[in-house]
Amino acid sequence: MTNLGLPVPPGFTVTTEACQAYLATGREPDGLAEQIAAHLAALERARGKRLGDPGDPLLVSVRSGAKFSMPGMMETVLNVGLNDASVVGLSRQAHGGGGGDRFAWDSYRRLIQMFGKTVCEVPGEEFEHALDEVKRAKGTTNDLDLTADDLRGLVGAYKQIFKAHTDREFPQDPREQLDLAIRAVFASWNAERAVLYRRQERIPADLGTAVNVVAMVFGNLGPDSGTGVAFTRDPATGNQGIYGDYLANAQGEDVVAGIRNTVPLQELERCDKRSYDELLDIMARLERHYLDLCDIEFTIERGKLWMLQTRVGKRTAAAAFVIAGQLVDEGLIDLDEALHRVNGAQLAQLMFPRFQLDHGIEPVATGIGASPGAASGQVVFTSARAVEVAGAGKPVILVRRETNPDDLNGMIAAQGILTSRGGKTSHAAVVARGMGKTCVSGADGIDVDVPRRRFTVAGQTVVEGDVVSIDGTTGKVYLGEVPSTESEVVRYFEGDLDPERSDDALVRAVHRIMTHADGRRRLAVRTNADTGADAARARRFGAEGIGLCRTEHMFLGDRRELVERLILARVDDDRAAALAALLPLQRADFEEIFREMAGLPVTVRLIDPPLHEFLPPLEQLAVDVAVAQERGEDVAKEEALLAAVRRMHEENPMLGLRGVRLGLVIPGLFAMQVRAITEAAVAVTRAGSVARPEIMVPLVGAVQELETVRAEAEKIIAEVVGESGVEVLIGTMIEVPRAALTAGQIAEAAEFFSFGTNDLTQMGWGFSRDDVEGAFFWRYLELGIFGISPFESIDADGVGRLVRIAAEEGRAARPELKLGVCGEHGGDPDSVHFFHRVGLDYISCSPFRVPVARLEAGRAAVQTNGSDSR
Amino acid sequence: MTNLGLPVPPGFTVTTEACQAYLATGREPDGLAEQIAAHLAALERARGKRLGDPGDPLLVSVRSGAKFSMPGMMETVLNVGLNDASVVGLSRQAHGGGGGDRFAWDSYRRLIQMFGKTVCEVPGEEFEHALDEVKRAKGTTNDLDLTADDLRGLVGAYKQIFKAHTDREFPQDPREQLDLAIRAVFASWNAERAVLYRRQERIPADLGTAVNVVAMVFGNLGPDSGTGVAFTRDPATGNQGIYGDYLANAQGEDVVAGIRNTVPLQELERCDKRSYDELLDIMARLERHYLDLCDIEFTIERGKLWMLQTRVGKRTAAAAFVIAGQLVDEGLIDLDEALHRVNGAQLAQLMFPRFQLDHGIEPVATGIGASPGAASGQVVFTSARAVEVAGAGKPVILVRRETNPDDLNGMIAAQGILTSRGGKTSHAAVVARGMGKTCVSGADGIDVDVPRRRFTVAGQTVVEGDVVSIDGTTGKVYLGEVPSTESEVVRYFEGDLDPERSDDALVRAVHRIMTHADGRRRLAVRTNADTGADAARARRFGAEGIGLCRTEHMFLGDRRELVERLILARVDDDRAAALAALLPLQRADFEEIFREMAGLPVTVRLIDPPLHEFLPPLEQLAVDVAVAQERGEDVAKEEALLAAVRRMHEENPMLGLRGVRLGLVIPGLFAMQVRAITEAAVAVTRAGSVARPEIMVPLVGAVQELETVRAEAEKIIAEVVGESGVEVLIGTMIEVPRAALTAGQIAEAAEFFSFGTNDLTQMGWGFSRDDVEGAFFWRYLELGIFGISPFESIDADGVGRLVRIAAEEGRAARPELKLGVCGEHGGDPDSVHFFHRVGLDYISCSPFRVPVARLEAGRAAVQTNGSDSR
């Protein structure tokens, strides 16, 4: 913490280098003891007391000084220096009104508890149990009702607990306490969870941490002492004002642990106006220094205010936008800086439907907000039942202790998923995020009993069919249906709200920041849309063209029969007839899309999936035929179909006959599509609009493939376009690793590249998304193999390197080459920054993600360094 | 052709630049006509005659001067300058004995035929038909029996054919003939097959060709004239001496076209000793100049010898080795150069069984030697029948017009494949090479009638069940069983022949060259072997360790039941029990292999395939269960198995739960294998041998995977190794593209990399080998997308780039990193050169390919540049 002339207790720092030496050798480095002794002596001189002196003890706190807080790392030990002797000295120090005794023993029991738990790994519950028992014996729930004697007794009990778990007495030597606490901070750098976290984040393992040793100030010295936390604005809504909690006669974590009820910070004004005014003054100074909402920890020791810690405060998504807007109004930051202060993940949260703010229903449990959204539905406990009830048109919430790959169908059928175990990287969480489903995981207040199809929570029993509601952002779980509401932000994007006149501060802030992002960004934002309706919505959301129009759906529905004829054709004439029948249907589809995207580029991908996907699935067909044969039915026709399906069956269809390979093997298929696209563009243009088609060849791995398709396409285009003035570009997906590695060659035959980062991730990692995401990604996240699924956010080191190679070498070969991305990463905040840095021209994502992409593209453009992206 | 003071007819060259200008603009470049005129005038002056002069005509030949001969390119037109007038002048020129007339009309009809066919695309058969008819009318098969009048009549008929196809008269202007012929050479640069060829070979499209115009010399001027081809050594065996064919009173392609029977070159000595001696002298000079076997085209015009062309001669594999040895003996080349003169493909050919040389059976047809080997068996015409007969233990040859993916099972069952259509890149050829099956393709003398299950050839009918023999090297087809013999070269490698004492020149030559290769090569050669027997054989063949020992087979056979228990285990205890039972079995397998490879490194790959491969296949099981249910049988157990198989089913198993992913998800699996390997190594070492195990983790894509496996393995190894002194290395396959792209990170946790270029090719290209090779590779080869399957020879631009990146960045991170390759490319000649250039330490291939790899590694080491490898 920067000391801005604030009232901060004196102390010293043990350097990071000492920690590194300790981690490297496993023992305390030479000279460290002397160094600590020198520091300590200086502190003792300044305070005029000696550490743990029996007569007039100096006490200190020991905290980690790590640059980022890491899971599993040790945070703080207070009251270091107390022992059986100095507790008496402390009591004398505190003197006055007999309260000194109580205070001293309270501080001592806190030391044993905190030291035991964090330095010596004694289970924390045991201390809590012992405390509860003493309170129960006194018939109170308030720890202030405990007397000095009660607390002295508790110290005895705590010492026994300590000894039972550590095989030694609680250390009486103050210097030993200090050394052990410092060493424990060092050692916690290698705590299992910290190691995992660093592996995930690729933080160097040997960085180490400093340790801060600071003289204690006490909030538990009586009613004129206390401790509190404060926010400089409302972290929930962003509204201006003073927010916080205060607890008199308390220490350290009491405020957040909820041992007693805190009071709103405003009440401090009443009981200690001087401290309150000083705090307000400090908060204003801090905001001017940090130029942002700050959160603050402070202690008042007998009417004197001490600042313990401050950092930029956490806030909700809505507050982030509102505060950023306010700070601009207040002249503290400019709009570029405001863009830094919000992010796409927050905007995405604001676009989900959410429970109404004033519903007044109390949650019965809180888990982890694992995948955002708000969902209500009947409780079901099995995948089969989920499918059944959802099939009857009723929304369901699938409730499980934890999910596994067998639950996949149920998860698909459900509105939301609720589990009692597992965190943000559990199977349920990962799969739900992949599906865009609402999920609350690890709600451990819930006791799930699958065999009896019920769960209990807060003393209530919920049975199959009862309705619950879950909030995937906050992690809250409600009984019954909570009314939900469409997002105001979405209404704004849809054009249903005039932001200039809205009385919603959030909508005004979002509008202002989005407008600035659009002005700053260099990346264009397109959308992935296969229909006119999707295209229209995306355009309202700000899309500047279509980056990916898949043509597969144009082979479904009524058209399936034609497609089957096409696939099963054994002679050229049958195939040509089927293609001829498909041509006008596809042309009509394209006309609609070109009309909706008038004037903007539309990238159409030629058909990509293997053709057998349009035939019945093999296993079911084989079973049907075998059973019908067993019954003696005539199955000649089905057998012929089965033979065809079997002939076309592939072991690994993702790596089989699809994409450009189909175009090169099936005569006339690509030609029909190229003709339909070009004819549609000419028709729309002749009708007075402007169509800008870009034909994209999928799955190209070698320039020769593209050259061959291009040669055929150019002939058709030249013939159809005639004098209409329509311009048709031809380019390719870069989705096969080899395409990226030979991009310099491929650019010679391509007017644009569009990175298909989904397939590039699948082939680059060797992951079939359908097979691996549910099967073992949870395990990989748990082991820290990766910090986030590479399908959620682009893997910059591996897959991203392919993108970079292709962008650089493609542009070197053809400087005017247009570069875009149409994988799902186009809507992921971190990935957008990556694509900005590699120099792409545009990103493309699903219509709903277009605003997120616009915002992040703006943020990427004002970013002065890459520090906030992976 | 370098003129070494040889008797070469005078002429001139039209430059490549003229061709390039023509190809760029589509019309003759300015100044070309004048340039040709000036050259021609000089030639006319030198010869004292004018082109096509009616009185005393100069005639010329027009030939492509392309640096490499390309399929589809135009080669030669002779006798340019003849027309209705100059034919009379030519006759006068030739004078003497009335033969002049016959000669002149013979030359004229040859011009119309050759010019029509190559310059104007008149179908060649029509000319041949007309000639045959005239001969039939005269009752002769010898064209020398035709008189001047016959030939004059033929010229009339040829002119009509020409007009019918070109809508114009045969051009009478000699200069027009010359210009058209030159332009036709230019234009043939863009002939379809030439374009394809260049695309395959990535030869620049705008290189163009020069054109050589040379004064004619005539071999058809009477019995003291003639034309021939000669080899300076026997191109079949390599034996020293004069080999060749001579045909008196003939021109151009008559010798190779087989119009009349040629005579052995030796007979020339009898009829024209002066020319014969001169030819022998020239051949000796050419050998000294080219330092190699030369083949020669020459013409004798009335007793004067003219040299038309020479180049280094083609030869059989055996001859290549024998000649290389001889040239060393003769002091013409050194052993390094001898290594250049042979290659691994030739050595591989010599290692197949072959038909006995002296079998005396005449072939009934000749096709393309598409996949080497010698195979005999019963003829079958359908895939089903092939499977049936082969299932009864009888060898079969599958005969088809051409094959398609439906024939796959039949091809697997057959000893060999014979098709009447298609070339080296047909479906049959590509798939057969992939399987290592003998194949003759495109034997167009065979007329296949599948419905009647027979084929006819040379007037004979062969029905299903008759025996035929096919030679996949020469493309020859025989009726009946031809006795075959094991390769002497294999007997030498097996150690059954003492090369120093062998009277087989081939064995001596192979031994000498292999010894030199071993002395020169920098790459070590290991083998892929999963059993002790394979390891022992490979060691005899020169393997210096095992580069890939797969452990999958150790899960098959009797052990399948244990593996099923392991897979279906729902609780840890069941799984642990199954693993405990597998441990001693695996250990015994490893002990055997370590003993066979005593002292040499053995790389063991931990289990790689997805576990469901060890369960029954889904489709069959589903059908069995459904049918049994229909019959009302009890299928509870089968249903449970089906449910498990379905749960483990993967859409794309190649990209699913396999390799290191299994190791991280299935508790104890890798640990059991690591323990088995280490215990086996310790046991073998304690028994007095030396085991050098290297544990290889498959499918790693991220260093974190390897770190996690390594941490567990190191604990087990430390515990088992104890004081035994056994050293165990831990490394990884580089087979996932991302592994190559992040090799610098991965090297931090790996002591060695082994490139799995099969999977790297599959993922780099997005090709599932099983699915794509038969389904569309034939089409890709036909279209020139690639020149050779990337599974046969490494794709240097794409997949090879990944190898290069990983090798460089891996070594940069860990200089002592061992680098090898264990994909099938390790046995492919071109690929070996690539691996040498990238700086790998070793290659590993199947036992049988070890000698090929040794030879190519030696060749790569003496290569001064990369010109002869792709």
Residues of A in contact with B406 (CB under 8 A): 647
Q: Within 10 A of B302 (CB to CB), how many other CB atoms are there?
A: 14
Q: Distance between CA B86 and CA B108 in Å, rounded? A: 9
Q: Tell me phi and psi for residue A63, to 5 degrees.
A: -130, 150
Residue A642 maps to a domain = no
Is residue A599 in some structural domain? yes
**Domain with B68 in it: what CATH number?**
3.30.1490.20
Q: State how many domains chain A has.
A: 5
Taking contacts as CB-CB distances below 8 angstroms, the residues of chain B near A797 are 741-742, 745
Shared-domain flag, residues B437 and B366: yes
Provide the residue range defining the domain that includes B804: 735-862
Q: Which chain B residue has its CA at the smallest distance from A408's CA? A: B647
Distance CA A548, CA A824 (A): 11
Helices (H) and strands (E) in chain A, counts: 34, 32
Q: Are A713 and A670 in contact (CB under 8 A)?
A: yes
A349 bridge partner residues? none
SS (H, E, C) A590-608: HHHHHHHCCCCEEEEECCC
- Chain A residue with Cα closest to B761: A738
Contact (CB<8Å) A653/B656: no
- In our burial notation (b when 16+ CB lie closer than 10 A, e otherwise), range A483-521 reads ebeebbbbebbeeebeeeebebbbbbbbbbbbebbeebb
Contacts of A647 in chain B (CB under 8 A): 405-406
Give residue A149's identity as a one-letter amino acid code.
Answer: D
CA distances A438 to A360, A429, A782, Å, are 21, 9, 21
Can you give the pLDDT at residue B96? 58
Question: Considering CB atoms only, which of A405, A664, A759 is closest to B647?
Answer: A405
Is there a single domain that holds both residue A175 and residue A61?
yes
Same domain for A314 and A173: no
- The reply to whether B605 sits in an annotated binding site is yes
Check whether residue A723 and residue A747 sit in a common domain.
Answer: no
Contact between chains at B199 and A707 (C-beta distance less than 8 A): yes
Q: Residue A473's domain is classified under what CATH number?
A: 3.50.30.10
Answer yes or no: do B702 and A762 touch at CB < 8 A.
no
Inter-axis angle of helices A344-351 and A850-862, to 10 degrees?
160
Contact yes or no for A741 and B764 at CB 8 A:
yes
Which chain B residue lies closest to A644 (C-alpha atoms)? B406
The closest of B704, B609, B741 to A764, measured between CA atoms, is: B741
Pick from B154, B186, B215: which residue ends a domain? B215
- How many residues does this entry show for chain B? 870
Bridge-based pairing of strands A354-355 and A396-400 is unpaired
- Smallest CA–CA distance, residue A111 to chain B, in Å, is 37
Residue of B608, B631, B710, B765 to mutate, testing the A interface (most A Cβ within 10 Å of its Cβ): B765
Domain boundary among B150, B185, B215: B215
Q: Considering the domain boundaries, does residue A533 fall inside one?
A: no
**DSSP states of B167-212:** SSPPP--HHHHHHHHHHHHHHHTT-HHHHHHHHHHT--TT----EE
* Start-end of H helices in B204-315: 254-257, 267-271, 273-290
φ and ψ of B456, to 5 deg:
-115, 145
8 Å CB contact of A627 and B626: yes
Beta strand B818-821 with B752-755 is parallel
Give the model confidence (pLDDT) of A168-200 as tens digits: 999 999 999 999 999 999 999 988 778 767 765
Give the pLDDT of residue A379.
97
Parallel/antiparallel/unpaired status of strands B60-64 and B211-215:
antiparallel
Largest CA distance in chain A: 106
Q: What are phi and psi of A685, to 5 degrees?
A: -65, -40
Q: How far is B200 from chain A (nearest CA, A)?
A: 9
Q: What is the CATH number of the domain that holds A669?
A: 3.20.20.60
Cα–Cα distance for residue pair B181/B64, rounded to 1 Å:
10
CA distance B131 to B15: 36
As a whole number of angstroms, the distance between CA A2 and CA A610 comes to: 61
The answer to whether A764 contacts B737, with C-beta atoms less than 8 Å apart, is: yes
Was B76 annotated as part of a binding site? Answer: no
My answer on whether B170 and B258 are in the same domain is: no
Q: Which helix (H) or strand (E) holds B128?
A: helix B124-138
Of B651, B655, B742, the CB nearest to A798: B742
Please name which of A259, A249, A211 lies closest in space to residue A80, comparing C-alpha atoms.
Answer: A211
Q: How far is A839 from chain B (nearest CA, A)?
A: 20
Q: What order of strands is seen across the sheet that includes strand B11-14?
A: B11-14, B211-215, B60-64, B76-80
Residues A658, A783, single domain; the answer is no
Backbone CA torsion sign across B157, B160, B165, B169: positive
Any known ligand binding at B758? yes
Residues B164 and B194 placed together within one structural domain of the fold: yes
Instruction: Indicate if B390 and B441 belong to the same structural domain.
Output: yes
pLDDT at B866: 41
How close B629 comes to chain A (CA, Å)? 9
Write the residue in A657, A708, A802 that is nearest to B775 by C-beta.
Answer: A657
Contacts of A779 in chain B (CB under 8 A): 664-665
Residue A779 is nearest to which of B653, B664, B762, comparing CB atoms?
B664
Measured in angstroms, the CA of A125 and the nearest CA of chain B are apart by: 30
Separation between Cα atoms, residue A783 and residue A797, nearest integer Å: 19
Chain B CA closest to residue A770: B651
Kindly state the tokens that stand for B862.
């003496």
Within-domain flag for B522: no
Query: Known catalytic residues of B?
Result: 427, 822
Domain membership of residue B505 (yes or no) is: no
Contact residues on chain B for A780, CB-CB shorter than 8 A: 664
The ipTM assigned to this model is 0.82
| Helix (H) or strand (E) segment spanning residue A163 | helix A148-166
Collect all residues of chain B within an 8 Å Cβ-Cβ radius of residue A748.
Answer: none
> A656: which chain B residues are within 8 Å (Cβ-Cβ)?
768, 771-772, 775
Between CA A331 and CA B166 the distance in angstroms is: 87
Tell me which residues of chain B have a pLDDT lower than 70.
1-3, 67-69, 96-98, 196, 199-202, 256-259, 405, 425, 434, 864-870
Q: Cα(B218)–Cα(B60) distance, rounded to whole angstroms?
A: 11
B271/A506 Cα distance (integer angstroms): 109
Cα A105 to Cα B763: distance, rounded to the nearest angstrom: 67
Q: Is A758 annotated as a binding residue?
A: yes
Count how many pairs of residues, chain A against chain B, have C-beta atoms within 8 Å: 200
**Does residue B605 share a domain with residue B573?**
yes
Query: Which pLDDT belongs to residue B242?
Result: 82
- Would B615 be classed as within a structural domain? no
- Strands A211-215 and A11-14: what pairing? antiparallel
Which of A655, A707, A798 faces B766 most closely, judged by CB atoms? Answer: A655
Are the C-beta atoms of residues B277 and B254 closer than 8 Å to each other? no
Q: Which of A19, A294, A427, A511 is catalytic?
A: A427
For A358-373, what is each residue's pLDDT tens digit?
A: 788 999 999 888 888 8
Residue in A631, A654, A664 closest to B652 by CB? A654
Q: What is the pTM of this model?
A: 0.83
Between CA A212 and CA A219, with CA A215 as vertex, the angle to 5 degrees is: 115
Q: Which residues of A touch B630 (CB under 8 A)?
A: 627, 630-631
Q: Is the Cβ pair B627, A622 closer than 8 Å?
A: no
Q: Give me the residues paired with residue B476 across strands.
A: B366
Check A766 against B736: CB less than 8 A apart.
yes
Asked if B45 and B154 sit in the same domain, the reply is yes
- If asked whether residues A236 and A381 sit together in one domain, one would say no
Structure token pair of residue B619: 């489709």
Q: E strand or H helix at A18, and its extent?
A: helix A16-25
Please answer yes or no on whether A763 and B737 come within 8 Å at the CB atom.
yes
Measure the N-to-C terminal CA separation of chain B; round to a whole number of Å: 26
Closest CA of chain A from B766, distance in Å:
5
Picking from B619, B705, B738, the nearest residue to A622 by CB comes out as B619
Low-confidence ranges of chain A (pLDDT < 70): 1-3, 67-69, 96-98, 196, 199-202, 256-259, 405, 425, 434, 864-870
Helix (H/G/I), strand (E/B), else coil: B361: coil
Distance CA A626, CA B630 (A): 10
Amino acid present at B317:
A
Q: How many other β-carbons are positioned within 10 Å of the β-carbon of residue B541? A: 23
Asked if A199 and B741 come within 8 Å (Cβ–Cβ), the reply is no
Whether residues A647 and B406 touch (CB distance < 8 A) is answered with: yes
Residue A705 in any domain: the answer is: yes
Q: Is residue B319 part of a domain?
A: yes
Per-residue confidence (pLDDT) for residue B748, from 0 to 100: 96
Query: How far apart are the C-alpha atoms of A416 and A372, rounded to whole Å?
Result: 10
B764 plus B850 within the same structural domain: yes
Q: Is B388 annotated as a binding residue?
A: no
Q: Which of A673, A696, A727 is the last residue of a domain?
A: A727
